[in-house]
Structures are given as C-alpha cells and as structure tokens.
Amino acid sequence: MKRRVLLAAAAVGIVAAPLGVLAQAYPTKPISIIVPFAAGGPTDALARILGARMSEALGQPVIIDNVAGAGGTIGVNKAAKAAPDGYTVLFAHMGTLAVNIALYKTLPYDSKKDLEPVGLGGTNPMVLVVKKDLPAKNFAEFMAYVKANQKKAQYGMAGIGAASHLGGLMLNGMMKVDVLEIPYKGTAPALNDLVSGQFDYMVDQAVNVLPQIKSGNIRALGVSTLKRLPQLPDVPTIDEAGLKGYEVTIWNGFFVPKGTPKDIITKLNGALVAALSDEKIRVRLTELAVDLPAAKDATPEAMRDQLKASIDKWVPTIKAAGIQPQ
C-alpha cells in the first residue's frame, strides 16, 4: 500500500515537474491566436492589433490562425481541443461562446468547461448598414421596405451564432419579418458583397463597417446601443428609431484550453493588460468605437463573470423570442 502511494506520488512528480518548468520558461516559441472568422473582419482586426502588442510583451511572435466556418464554432472547437500549454490562444466573442448555446441543438464544446478565460479584449457596438442604393433613406423607410419585400430582402451574417447573426435575428424578430439569410465565413467577405450590392443589409460591429460608411460605400441607418455613437452622431439608435428595447453589444475575449497552467494564464493576461494600456492602441480603437476595458476589468475572473452573465442573458432571451436551435 505504502509502496503504491509512493509510486503514485513519483508518477505525479514526473508529470508535474515538466509542467511547472514549462510555465516558468513560457513562452519559448511562437504563440498561435485562433480567430474563428475570416481575415480582415472585426474579430481578426482586434486580434491583430492587440496580438502585436502582446507579442512584444511576451517576447515571442504571435501568429493569427483564421479558422473560419460554421459561425465560428470550428475555430472555437479547435482551440478547446488544443494542448493546454499556452501556445494556442483563442480570441472569440459573445456569439461563439454564449449566444450560440441557444442556437445550436448540440455544440462540440462547452465554453464554460472546456476553456479558461484570460481576459476581455474589448466591447463593440453594432451598426445596421445597408447597400448604397437601397431605396430606404432612414430606419422607418427601411422597416417599410423590408416588410414590403419579405422572403426577397436579404441580410448578410457570419454564420449561426455570429454577432452579425444575433444582431440580424433580433432586428428581424422585432420587425416581425421573414427575410433571406446569406451566411459568410466572417463579416469581411460579407462587407465586400454589401459594398458591391449583392445583398440588402447587415448588422455588424462598428469597427468593421465605420471606414466603409465614412467612404460612402454603404449607409448606416441605426446603431445597436441605447446611446448614439460619437463616430456617427447623425445615425439614430435602433431603439429610438422605432424598435424600443433593441440593444446588442458584443464583447471579445481571450481564452485558453482548460488545464493551461495558471502561471501561463497570468503571463498572457499581463501581455493583454500591456496592450490595453497602450495609449496608441486606445486612441486607434476608440476612434473605431471599440470600448477597451481598464486593466482592473481585464482579469480572467471578470472575463469568467462576463461569459456567465452573457449566457444567463442571451440563452433565455433567444428562447423567449421563439427562435429554434438548428
């Protein structure tokens, strides 16, 4: 018996020692950040901006791995199943980690059990954007247009459970319209098609659509927050323009596979805090309407609480709206 205990302890020692050493030396090679959407979109843009500064803080290259498809679930699943050694980090959002629990009958991962939070990477308002030559000139005309063109009007989104899906679902649900859904691997390719007039409208993060609105290639008819955005002072909130109570804001956050040593999470969080405290990054992202958390709000614990709060809010909201999982 005694001998067995000793043997077991020795076995634990053999396993534990390399992990401890690994955490101390970390990082000794490039780190991959999985972005579960196409390159060039909002999730990708934020991951690249924050990731570049995190790379400096960590002293190792950070490589962005766009694993797009199925509303971001393929990328999140790859991260959830990766080795918990700190070399695979996930940058995902409220859609892929909370909202889609209500939108899929089954998911290959459990965002609360299979991932460990590192910290919040930013909060993003969304904007209802339409193709340039859509006849509707304001939100009331847009509603009238979509109602008159049911089953013909088309909206773009980045797959089931994406932020743009949630934004569109809530909008269409509150307008009580039945329209065609055009799925993309991210809102970067969707935006290209909206600019060239391939579909009618989309609800996407401001960080992605603001430059095209400013260039006049698409038009903004409403914002998803309860307050107007300083970047678009003439664009009403969707709530004030006619859909009382419409409010969708998307957070992005960093996560690692469950089982990643705590010291590694602390190092990654330190690099994230360095990026969030960088004045150049704050100015640049504030211009693009991204709300960056203060360092004290970027802890793993705060990210865990935010994830739980979003699941608790959106899963019942989507069920109450009568939206069936697929």
Give the footprint of ligand ASP on this chain (CB under 6 A).
37-38, 41-44, 95, 158, 162-164, 186-188, 204-205
User: Cis omega (within 30 of 0) on the bond before 236?
Assistant: no
In whole angstroms, the minimum distance from the beta carbon of 38 to ligand ASP comes to 6
In whole angstroms, the minimum distance from the beta carbon of 281 to ligand ASP comes to 18
Pick between residue 264 and residue 318 the one whose CB is nearest to ligand ASP: 318
Distance between CA atoms of 124 and 289, rounded to whole angstroms?
A: 7
Pick between residue 118 and residue 127 the one whose CB is nearest to ligand ASP: 127
User: Nearest-CB residue to ligand ASP?
Assistant: 41
DSSP 186-198: SHHHHHHHHHTTS
DSSP 179-236: -EEEE-SSHHHHHHHHHTTSSSEEEEEHHHHHHHHHTTSEEEEEESSSS--TTSTTSP
Pick between residue 95 and residue 261 the one whose CB is nearest to ligand ASP: 95
Pick between residue 232 and residue 273 the one whose CB is nearest to ligand ASP: 232
* 259's tokens: 């089982």
Distance between CA atoms of 45 and 52, rounded to whole angstroms?
A: 11
In whole angstroms, the minimum distance from the beta carbon of 19 to ligand ASP comes to 33
In whole angstroms, the minimum distance from the beta carbon of 158 to ligand ASP comes to 4
In whole angstroms, the minimum distance from the beta carbon of 7 to ligand ASP comes to 50
In whole angstroms, the minimum distance from the beta carbon of 72 to ligand ASP comes to 6
| Contact predicate 163/205, CB 8 Å | yes
The enclosing H or E element of 249 equals strand 249-257
Distance between CA atoms of 306 and 119, rounded to whole angstroms?
A: 10
Pick between residue 31 and residue 191 the one whose CB is nearest to ligand ASP: 191
Pick between residue 205 and residue 310 the one whose CB is nearest to ligand ASP: 205
